[in-house]
Amino acid sequence: MRAEGGVLGAEYLLDKAWDAEADPFTNAVRLVVHTLRRKLGEPQLLHTAIGAGYYLGTA
């Protein structure tokens, strides 16, 4: 929410949400994003910026 629509990379999210021992090649961020998208429903609020990360928004 603090990113105000900015794109946050998976590495950044992994660093902020998991401990320092988290495997940088894990797909945990992808799985959590997938689960959040299902729970948030439509309209989709969580988007992927291909090759960059994720962002919140309506477009």
Asked whether residue 3 is assigned to any structural domain, the reply reads no
**Beta carbons of 33 and 46 less than 8 angstroms apart:** yes
Asked whether residue 1 is assigned to any structural domain, the reply reads no
- Taking the C-alpha atoms of residue 44 and residue 59, their distance in angstroms, rounded to an integer, is 8
Asked whether residue 42 is assigned to any structural domain, the reply reads yes
3-state secondary structure of 17: helix
Asked whether residue 38 is assigned to any structural domain, the reply reads yes
Asked whether residue 46 is assigned to any structural domain, the reply reads yes
Phi, psi of 53 (to 5 degrees): 155, -140
Asked whether residue 20 is assigned to any structural domain, the reply reads yes
Q: Model pTM?
A: 0.75
Which one of 4-8, 11-15, 20-24, 45-49 scores highest in mean pLDDT?
Answer: 45-49
Residue 44's alpha-carbon distances to 10, 14, 33, 47, 56, in angstroms, are: 19, 22, 12, 7, 9
What is the number of domains present in the chain? Answer: 1
- Condensed to tens digits (0 to 9), the pLDDT of residues 29-52 reads 889 999 999 999 999 989 999 999
